[in-house]
Amino acid sequence: MRYFFGVLCLILCLGTNAVAASNEEAAIVKNCSGTAFIVRQQRTLTVKKSERIYSGDLLRTGRDGTLGIIFKDNTILSLGPRSELLIEEFHFDPSRGKLSIVTRMLKGTAAYVSGVIARLSPQSVRFETPSATIGIRGTKFLVKVEDGGEEE
């Protein structure tokens, strides 16, 4: 019986590490003002400067909020008020050839400046919106996604 619980504990610990490993650290908050949140694993966290952003995080700004983050590959992303953006996927391990950044803009405004991943592997970068997907080939752009008239 003791052996069984030891094996069960080992399996549970390995499973927990596998989940944590899939949520790779993607970015860091460089600046924020007003109301801004990170929704992570169904928990809402108030954003603070130097906060770490992970793959799978949803970034949300309120009516008075702005948020600026820098990804580990030096991609820069700024969100304006009333914005929501999901960091769907982020991998930055050039030595192993693991490079990807996929974001999904749900609503609001964003300014984007591509980083190292776009230079090394442009096909691995996608910025998705409800009506289009932008393939990044080393560029800067602004985007606005209407929220369908919903008020906060």
Return the bridge partners of 79, or none: 67, 110
> Residue 113 is part of which domain span?
24-145
Domain contains 18: no
pLDDT of residue 14: 39
Residue 73, pLDDT > 70, answer: yes
Domain contains 13: no
Place 142 in a pLDDT band, splitting at 50, 70 and 90: confident
Looking at the structure of the chain, the number of domains it has is 1
More confident residue, 118 or 149: 118
Residue 33, pLDDT > 50, answer: yes
The set of residues, in sequence order, having a beta carbon less than 8 Å from that of 18 and lying 6+ positions away, is none
